[in-house]
Each structure stands twice: as structure tokens, then as C-alpha cells.
Structure 1
Amino acid sequence: MPTDKRLSLTEAIARYVHDGQTMALEGFGHLVPNAAAHEIIRQGFTGLTLARMSGDTLIDQLLAAGCVKKLIASFVANSSAGSLHELRRRIEHQDPEPLEFEEYSMGGMVARYAAGAARLPFAPIRSCTGSDLVALNPMIKSVTDPYGGGRIHVVPALNPDVSIIHAQRADRAGNIQAWGMLGIQQEVAFAGGSVIVTVEEIVADDVVRSDPNRTIVPSHVVDAVVVCPRGAHPAPVQGYYDRDDHFQREWSERARDAAALREWIDRHIRGTADHDGFLAGLGADYWNRLAVGERLSAPVDYGRRR
């Protein structure tokens, strides 16, 4: 009988997240674990170092809630919708307090996670050559290529205390299946000390076994699997719902006002008991405009012994 790793989101965050940890919350424009970030805010964790390859509303919310003291990231903006104004207040004006920011290229972040997943001390990278990042970030170093290629930059492995990702589905044991734009989900999971995965649905074991190539993270890597429908919103989930561009654009305007941003967090996150409460606050009809049509992939015959 497979080990059942199902927990509620409240239980998973309470069990594996602690003040002062380094935490990865990853998903590259797709499969972003926003519901998990909200639960971190509800439970009031502080002093966190947040690793996030690309910036989005999740960063603004965790900063405004007082959860994060340091950010490790590359691209930082509200995608095509505008700026992350809480982040800008911290970096440009130290308001309400300074934020330690360790910056890499996107390739640098990928290399750090990949090295962490492989349990290597560092990874070589070419994309820093000629970049100001080398001068800005002392963690990017230069070494001699032992195979005669001259000098090359390296970045340190990133092994978060806890890695949190989102995916489409899993079985009860935590075999995680995803499709569409996968980003760095697999490497982040393998690099983490503890691994929490939120999913749109838990499916029967036979569903996962019927299509094993969709399993991007095997159960032995996962500590907790959480059924969390619409847990990536406002990011999209392929096959489930579209990106909420309206929310993203609205956020860029809301976050200009620090007080309004904190009032929104108090009402919609701290003022709700859980993710279901957050969704209820959006309204039953909210999801109609984010609905997606069906587009099935062609079947695959894996074959079997006779």
C-alpha cells in the first residue's frame, strides 16, 4: 500500500515551514503556488529568505505581510501588467525597511537549482559574461576551466529548506504529474530539503500509472501533497483555467498605495480561514471568464507484456 502523503494546506505549511527558512516558491508564469504563499501569510511566518526565479504578485504580498527579509531572484516585475510597487518601495526607498536582494540572471537561477538538485556545490554559467551582475553579486565567482577553456563564471547551488510548487494532479502518495510550461518545477523539488506540492486534483493511482511520463516529481521526493483547486491563481494552469490578466493589471494599481495593499491582505488573506475562503470572496461567477475549452492530447500506447 503506497504511503498516503495527503495533507491540508494548513497542515502542510504548519508542519514544514518555520521562521527564518530559505524557501522556494516556484512556477514560471504557470503553476505558481499562490495559495501556499497566502497560507504562509495567514500563519504569520517571518524572517524568510524567498527564492523566486520570476517576480509576480506573490512577492509583493509576502513582502507587505512582513514574511520576507531577503529575496533571491532574477526577473522582478508584474509580468506584462506593470510593476511590483511594494518591492520597489523596499529596494528604491527602504520603505518600510530595506530588503536584501541577491540578484541573478534567469539562467543563473536555473543553474543554481540544477546544481542543488544534483547535490553539486556550484554550476558553471556563461550568461554572466559581460554583465554588471558580476560586480553587483559577490556570490557569482570566476574559476579556471580545468579543461583549458579559460575563466568561467560559477554560481552556488541553491538548496532551499523547503520547496513549494504547484501542479495539475497527483496520486495520494505524491507522484506529481504536470504538463504545459513546466519551468523549473522538477529541479526545485529535487533541490529542496522538504517538498510541498499543491495540485488541482488528487487522482486514483491507476490514472498516474496509465501515463507515467507525465510524472515530473516522484513520490519519494515529496513530503506533502495538497489538493488545492485554483491554487495557482492569478497564474494559469494548463487545462484548468487561464491567466487572470485583470487581477494582474488591477494589482499594479492597487499596490501603488501601501495602505491599500495591506488592507487587501488583511481582508482577503488574513481575513479568510483558508484557500476556500479566499476563493469564496472572489465569487462563484468569477471563474467564468477564466474558463478554458477542452483540447485533448493524442493517446499514447505504452504497450504491455502479453
Structure 2
Amino acid sequence: MNDMGLLDKAAASDNEDPKPKAKAKRKAATKAKPAKAVKAKPTKAERPAKVKKARAPRARPMELSDEYELASKMNRRISSLVNFIINFGVLFAALFIASADTGVITTILFATSGAIIILNAIFIPMRFSRNLGQFVSRTKYVRGDGTNPLFLHGIMANTAGLLALIGLIFVATQFQKLSEADNTGAIIFFSLGTIFIIMWFVDRYLRSGSAMGQGLYDLAFRAYLVKYVPTEEEKATGIWSRLENMGNFGDQLIKRQEDRKAKRDIKKAESEAAAELEAAAEQEAAEDEAASDDD
């Protein structure tokens, strides 16, 4: 009986359909959301250190002959300084003395000053095409082809400073008289003084802005201030040779100025080199200190 029961159970189990195994469902892969790109802040580029531009040499004008070299700034300064001392030295002395004494001495000084100015500004340039300042600085005004400019150029260029001084006196003395009833003379002198002053300023402005150092009258007459060496024919005796010998004094002044400039350049280079070495030493010390802190 027991065997029959076991057989019935086995048959029943065979008749039962086997249940299918549950398959594991794959989870849908979640798509990864792309991360938002973070915009990198633009780093400010370091400004390059300013490098001083080397001054280009003055271009030679097409009209000027290759035989001539334009006068340097040092030549111009010496010429202007010498002319200023010669033209106005005695005049300023006369004005200083006249403030305390108006005797015969001041009259003689004023007459002497006027004679010196006329001699240096008019007669010497008309005779030698150069004034005393240009003899000392070894310079001369020439045209593009090497010829001397018209004599009016020398007179106008040499008297520009004097006329500006006279114009200043006219403006200062006639300004209060403009309000008077009979002011015709005051208006004339005031206008002349104003014109003289304006022309001087225009001349200085053009000279400072010109690559060739040409002022108002130089441009009008196409004249150039050049370094000048006298020829054998010009090396004569008498007053000409004495005037040419004044150039030796100018050469000494130029040499002294160049020596001083060279010394200043050397000192400046040494100080810059010392500053660079000090900065490099400080940077190296800072790097060593940072390395020791990391250790």
C-alpha cells in the first residue's frame, strides 16, 4: 500500500508541468547626463614690459648734398648759448646798472650792447655767412646744393630772439596805454610786439618738431644747419683765422659734454646691473625658502 502511494505521487509529479524560471529583467541603463562645461575664466595676459624705442637717426633730406652732415643737438646748444651770451650779456649788465644809476656808464653800455648785437646778427653773417656762435660750434647754414642762403635769412634768424625781447618790452609798456583816447601809437607798438613774440614762438615750435631742426626762417629759405669744416682756401690769416680758432673752444666744450654723458651712461648701466643682481638674489632666496617649507 505504501508502494502504491509512492507510485501515485511520482506519477502526479510527472504530470505536473514544470514552471518556467523567472528571467531577471535588465534595468534600462540610465543615460548619464553630460556635465555642464564650466567656462574657464580667461586669465589676464601679462603686459609685456615697455621697451624704449631707439631713436632713429635723422633722415637726410633729399635736397641736401651728401658732402654735409646735419648739426647735432650739442652743436646747436653751444651755438645758441654763445650767441645769447654775446648778444645779451652786455645788455643785461646795462639794465642791471641802469636800475641803480643812469649815468654815462649805462649809456655807454647800452650803446656797446647795441653795437655787439648789430655786429653779430647782421654784419658778420653778411660777410662770412656765419655768426660767432656758429664759428664756436663749427656749424653753418647752407642750402641743399651747398651754396649760402640769401643774406636775409641770416639777419632774420639771428635777430628772432632780439625782436622777441623788443616785442615783450613793447607789449609791457604799451598795454596800459591802449585804454587812452589817443592810442594810435600804442596800438601800433603793441601789435608789432605781439607779432614779434608770436613769430618767435612759431619758429621755436617748428624747430622742435622738425626732423631737420629747421625753424620758420630755415623752411622759408630752405636752409640747413650743418657741421662745417673750412676748406684750405678759407683758412686764411687775419680776422678769418681768429674766428675759425674759436671753434677749438667749441670742440673742447663738445668733448666735455660727451665725456659727461658717457660717464652718466656707465653709471646708469652699473646701477641697472646691480638692481638686476639684487632682484635675482631675492628671487632665489624666496624659492629656497618655499622649497624648505614644502619639505
TM-score range, shorter chain: under 0.3
Kindly indicate whether structure 1 or structure 2 has the higher relative contact order, using CA contacts under 8 Å at least 6 residues apart: 1
What TM-score, normalized to structure 1? 0.25
Q: Looking at CA atoms only, which structure, 1 or 2, has the larger radius of gyration?
A: 2
> When you count strand as a share of all residues, which structure comes out higher?
1
What TM-score, normalized to structure 2? 0.26
